Amino acid sequence: MATDPDAPDPRFEAASAALQEGDAERAYALARQGAKQARREGDDLLAADLRWLEGAALMEMEDGVAALAALDEALRLAPDHLDAMLERASVLFELCRFDAALASAQVLADTAPREARAQHLLGLLAERRGDAREAERAFSRARKLDPEGYPKHPVLSKKEFDAAVERALAEIPEQVRRYLSNVPITVEDLPSDDDLLDSDPPLPPTILGLFRGAPYGQKLSADPWSHLPSSIVLYQRNLERSAADRDELEEEIATTLVHEVGHFLGLDEDELWERGLE
C-alpha cells in the first residue's frame, strides 16, 4: 500500500503528542532520536521540525541553554522555520538575553505580523524597558490576534494588591508567621536585572516571587543571595498575568507567598513540591 507523502511523519507525531501530554523528557528523547534519523535520510525539513520540538521540550525541562542550541540547529537546517523562530525568541527572553530577544521579536513582527506570540513578547520587552504605552499596545495586538491565548488579566491598584498580600499573610499559620517577624515582604512590578542575573543560570523574567537571603537558621554560603538580609518579594505584573480573574489572582498571590516562605524555612523545590507548594 502506498503511503501518503503529505501525511505527518510518525516520529514527529509521537514527539509532538508526548509534549502535548506533558511528558517533556519523552518528547525530548523522541525528537532528538528522530532528528538524527531524519538527517541521515537527508530530510532537513523534518530534522528541523524535530529539532524545534526538541528545543520546546528542553524549555519545559528548564534547560534554556540546551534549548537554544537545538533551535539554532533547527534554523540552520530551515532558516525560515517560523515555529523555531518563535520558540527561539522566547528562549532568549527566558535566558535574560533581552537585546537578542528584542531583535528576534522585531524580525518576527515584521515577517509574521499576525503571530500573537511575537506581539506578546514585544509587550514583555517594552514593559521591562519601562515603556508602558508601547507594552500595552503590543499586549492589545496579541489579545486581538489570539483572544483565548492572551486574554485580558486582572489588574489591581497598588493598594488593592498590598491588601491581597496582607490577606494571604494572615492565612499562614501563626506558628509560621512568628518566624517572619523580621522578614520584609514587599511588592515590585517586575524582577530587576539584579534579581535575575545573580543566579547561574539566570532566573526567568516571568518569576512570580523571590526569597532573598539565607534560609532561617542557616549560615552564609557562596550563594550571592545568602549575604543579603532575608526578605520576600512578590512581582505584581507577573502575578496578574498568571491569573484569569480576581479570585484566581488572590489564590496565586497566596500560593506564591507560601512558596517563598517555604524557601525561607529552608525547603528546596522538591520539598515544596512534595508539600503541594509548587
CATH code of the domain in which 183 resides: 3.30.2010.20
Residues 129 and 176 in one domain: no
Q: What does the block give as the cell for 167?
A: 490577606
Residue 180 lies in a domain: yes
- Report pLDDT for 225: 44
Is 28 contained in some domain?
yes
179 membership: H or E segment, kind and range: none
| Whether 205 and 113 share a structural domain | no
Is residue 4 one of the residues assigned to a domain? no
Q: Are residues 102 and 166 in the same domain?
A: no
| Same domain as 83, residue 204 | no
Give the residues across from 218 on adjacent strands. Answer: none
Q: Is residue 247, in this structure, part of any structural domain at all?
A: yes
Residues 6+ apart with CB under 8 A from 249: 153, 154, 156, 164, 239, 240, 242, 243
Residues 262 and 177 in one domain: yes
Residue with cell 520546546: 56
Q: What are phi and psi of 187, to 5 degrees?
A: -125, 130
Name the β-bridge partners of 188: 235
Which of these three, 145, 179, 206, is where a domain ends? 145
* pLDDT of amino acid 3: 46
In DSSP notation, 217-257 reads: T----SSGGGGSPPEEEEEHHHHHHT-SSHHHHHHHHHHHH
In which residue are the cell numbers 512570580 written?
A: 208
Asked if residue 1 belongs to a domain, the reply is: no
Is residue 102 domain-shared with residue 54, that is, in the same domain? yes
CATH number at residue 128: 1.25.40.10
- My answer on whether 131 and 191 are in the same domain is no
167 and 129 inside one domain? no
Number of domains in the chain: 2
pLDDT at position 8, please?
Answer: 83
Are residue 123 and residue 210 in the same domain, yes or no?
no
Per-residue pLDDT 10s for the chain (278 aa) are 344 556 789 999 999 999 999 999 999 999 999 999 999 999 999 999 999 999 999 999 999 999 999 999 999 999 999 999 999 999 999 999 999 999 999 999 999 999 999 999 999 999 999 999 999 999 999 999 999 999 999 999 999 999 999 999 998 888 878 878 788 999 999 999 999 998 888 999 999 999 988 776 664 444 544 445 688 999 999 999 999 999 999 999 999 998 888 888 776 555 544 544 44
Looking at the structure, tell me whether residues 23 and 138 fall in a common domain.
Answer: yes
Per-residue CA distances from 89 to 39, 71, 143 (Å): 24, 10, 19
- What is the DSSP-derived secondary structure letter of residue 180? G
**Domain region containing 125:** 10-145
**Quick one: how far is CA 80 from the chain centroid?**
24
Look at residue 153 and tell me if it is in a domain: no
pLDDT of residue 232: 93
Model pLDDT, residue 23 = 97
Q: Alpha carbon of 47 to those of 53, 219, 242: distances in Å?
A: 10, 50, 34
Do both 38 and 106 map to the same domain?
yes
pLDDT of residue 75: 98
Predicted pLDDT of residue 5: 57
In angstroms, rounded to a whole number, what is the distance separating the alpha carbons of residues 214 and 208?
Answer: 19
Q: Judge whether 51 and 59 are in contact, CB under 8 Å.
A: no
Q: Which residues contact 16 (CB under 8 A, 6 or more apart)?
A: 27, 53
Where among 145, 172, 197 does a domain terminate?
Answer: 145
Inside any domain, residue 270:
yes
Q: Indicate if 121 and 57 belong to the same structural domain.
A: yes
| Nearest of 24, 101, 19 to residue 63 by alpha carbon | 24
Domain assignment present for 116: yes
Helices (H) and strands (E) in the chain, counts: 14, 3
Residue that finishes a domain, picked among 121, 145, 169: 145
